[in-house]
Amino acid sequence: MSYITIKEAYSSETVYDDPENPQASTTITTYTFYRFNTDSRQVEQETGSYNAYPPAGFSFVGEFWSECSGTTRLGYVHDGAGGFTIEEEEDSLSCGFVPTDPLTCDLVLSVTQTTSVDGTTAEVVATGVNGRARYRLDGGPEQLSPFFYNVAPGAHQADVRDDGLASCRRSVRFVVDPLPPVEPPTGAPEGVDLVGQPRWCQVPAPAGATVLVELWAESAHGADDFTRVFVSQKQASATGVVATRLDSLLWPLLQPVAPPMGAAAGQVQVCRTNLVNYFVRTAVLVPGRVATYETGPLRTALRGALPAEWRHLDYFTYRLDAYAQPPFLTWQPAGQALTPAQPQWLFWLCPAGSPAALTVRRSYVRTGFAGGTPLVEDESVSLSAGRGPAFRLLAIPVKPRPNTDSVSVGLYTAQGESLSPLVSYPMVAETERSRYVCFTNSFGCLDTLRAEGRLDGTLEATATLVDRPPLATDGRAAPTRLTFDVQALRKLKLATGWLTAAEQAWLQELVLAREIWQVHPRLGVLPLAWPKRSLAVGGDEPPLRGMTLEFDYAFDPTAYARF
């Protein structure tokens, strides 16, 4: 008894532990194996499941087994669904039939091409065969199947041999055209998608049709070097829809914005890492035809998310309708006080229709001149390159100054028309306890917390007795190989000091932040390892309006013994 595997089918389902968090998910793959038993002439199935992404499926095409019944040949042909049909060939030369009339070589060949997720499939169609046709492509090994998969673009030759007649061979030449270069959509992106929350692409197609779905994205925002980052082949549902979840595919392509340092910290930066442009390309696959693709609109993916209560709305459209101006990407309450040395940024996502040239205006009220003319500093920004200003993300440094009472920041057109809300910050003096923590907010941009509380620092070390590996230089009376392995941990506890209710609500962003840094006046930007986070946001008793941060630095502890 032997088994012949004729089909391996896989299906996957993504189970989301948190429906609002696409990263908290598990992929469950269900498999079904179809094996033909050569003794019983029946197909046996094996099913099961496991937690992983599914591999590519397998389906045998054409005849997979044969036997003779007298001079009649019985060919077992896979039906594509795990079953089979039996094709009878009477008076088969393969089963000992001897014809009375001499055989002639009447082979006629043709080739059809089909585009699939794996490339081009070539089917060699042979008629006038006396026995069984044997197929060969470009001098390769012979095979019974007339299908050749993933055939490269270029000129090819298919050879067919009729095993019912000696020296009966024919050849046919054909050319596989390269797929036309993918042309991304022209013009500016159509909209922006926050991919820290569910984002679906739904493609209409006839029920049961096979649909090819491709996701194309650029390497960095504005690079315009689109490459295919995902491809799948799915069956349309009974309602005629193929649904693909995009947020979990786009999120890994995006990187956080780190606090700018050096000369870049004092200039407006156009962000390129936490957003990219993308589009979806689809095709309904029909056997025997070259796929015809449809390209969807160009859109911008931003590394961020909205609270659940906002996700049924287009947040930016809502803000434009409600306030007539787009918002800065922060939930930080208004009126936050800054010190002259505080690293602070505002992030602004340019809406559709933004001018290609704009001005960032900083206005300072100098100490002792409250009623006088403010000191105004203008910085020009040009966004004319590439696809224009739509959905470009600007990191705008606030640039507080000493000897001032406040600083205000706003965006204007070249003609002086206001484009954004005017954000004002009162100034306070820096103290010996002023420390600055930057973190990624829920929009994927940067916020800054100034902590004025007490810093408690301890350096803990744990010494473990270990057995070192033996060395060739050890003598017969080898010394003990026991030695101490010391691991050091720097624990830092930083209190924020008194917080308002609005500040406590905003600091939920810090508790949930993915990336956190301390901006050190002497050592620059230091990434923090902060595995435990907590914030008391309410209770029956009046809470102590403060927050304690306990963290370590995210690199070798021996590197910061002097901190």
Contact at 8 Å (CB) between 191 and 299? yes
d(CA 335, CA 144): 78
Sorted by sequence, the CB contacts under 8 Å of residue 539 that are 6+ apart come out as: none
Structure tokens at 367: 């100490």
Listed residue (463, 467, 465, 468) closest to 488, CA to CA: 463
Question: 26 pairs with which residues across the strands?
Answer: 15
Residue 308 phi/psi, 5-degree rounding, is: -55, -35
Question: Residue 338: helix, strand or coil by DSSP?
Answer: strand
Q: How distant is the alpha carbon of residue 92 from its chain centre? A: 56
CA dihedral angle for residue 515, residue 519, residue 525, residue 528, rounded to 10 degrees: -40
Digit-by-digit pLDDT tens for the chain (563 residues) are: 688 888 888 877 766 665 555 555 677 888 899 999 999 889 999 998 877 766 767 788 778 888 888 888 888 989 888 899 998 888 887 787 877 778 889 899 999 988 765 578 899 999 998 888 899 999 999 888 898 988 888 999 999 998 888 889 999 999 998 777 788 999 999 999 999 999 999 999 998 888 989 999 999 999 999 999 998 888 888 889 999 999 999 999 999 998 988 777 889 999 999 999 999 999 988 776 767 889 999 999 999 998 877 777 777 777 777 666 778 998 888 888 999 999 999 999 998 888 999 999 999 999 888 778 889 999 999 998 889 999 999 999 999 999 999 999 999 998 889 998 899 999 999 988 888 999 999 999 999 998 877 777 777 777 777 776 777 666 655 556 667 666 666 667 777 766 777 887 788 888 888 899 988 888 888 888 877 676 666 555 554 456 777 777 776 655 555 55
Contact at 8 Å (CB) between 295 and 183? yes
Question: Residue 15: helix, strand or coil by DSSP?
Answer: strand
d(CA 334, CA 218): 36
Structure tokens at 381: 């920004």
Q: Which amino acid is at 467?
A: D
DSSP letter for 418, please.
Answer: B
d(CA 268, CA 544): 38
d(CA 397, CA 517): 17
Q: Please write down the HEC assignment for all residues of 155-169.
A: EEEEEEEECCCCCCE
The C-alpha angle with vertex 461 and arms to 457 and 463, in degrees rounded to 5, equals: 175
Q: For residue 99, what are the CA distances in angstroms to 66, 94, 95, 162, 164?
A: 21, 12, 12, 15, 11
The answer to whether the pTM exceeds 0.75 is no
Question: Residue 267: helix, strand or coil by DSSP?
Answer: coil
Q: How distant is the alpha carbon of residue 37 from its chain centre? A: 43
User: How many Cα atoms within 13 Å fall on the side-chain side of residue 478?
Assistant: 11
Q: Which helix (H) or strand (E) holds 319?
A: helix 315-323
Contact at 8 Å (CB) between 197 and 22? yes
DSSP letter for 257, please.
Answer: P
Listed residue (430, 232, 446, 199) closest to 330, CA to CA: 446
Listed residue (94, 95, 104) closest to 134, CA to CA: 94
Contact at 8 Å (CB) between 459 and 553? no
The C-alpha angle with vertex 306 and arms to 303 and 310, in degrees rounded to 5, equals: 150
Contact at 8 Å (CB) between 202 and 240? no
- Beta strands 482-495 and 516-520, pairing class: unpaired
d(CA 553, CA 559): 10
Listed residue (440, 445, 404) closest to 425, CA to CA: 404
Give all strands of the β-sheet with 345-349 in edge-to-edge order: 269-270, 393-397, 345-349
Q: What's the confidence (pLDDT) of residue 127? A: 92
Q: How distant is the alpha carbon of residue 262 from its chain centre? A: 31
d(CA 279, CA 249): 12
Size of the chain, expressed as the number of residues it contains:
563
Sign of CA dihedral 499, 366, 264, 223: positive
DSSP letter for 477, please.
Answer: T
Contact at 8 Å (CB) between 82 and 119? no
d(CA 349, CA 394): 6
Contact at 8 Å (CB) between 267 and 157? no
Sorted by sequence, the CB contacts under 8 Å of residue 300 that are 6+ apart come out as: 189, 191, 192, 193, 221, 275, 276, 277, 278, 391
Contact at 8 Å (CB) between 56 and 11? no
d(CA 245, CA 442): 20
Sign of CA dihedral 340, 394, 229, 308: positive
Sorted by sequence, the CB contacts under 8 Å of residue 131 that are 6+ apart come out as: 92, 93, 94, 162, 163, 164, 165
Show contacts of 294-297: CB within 8 Å, 24+ apart.
295/182, 295/183, 295/184, 295/185, 296/185, 296/201, 297/185, 297/189, 297/190, 297/191
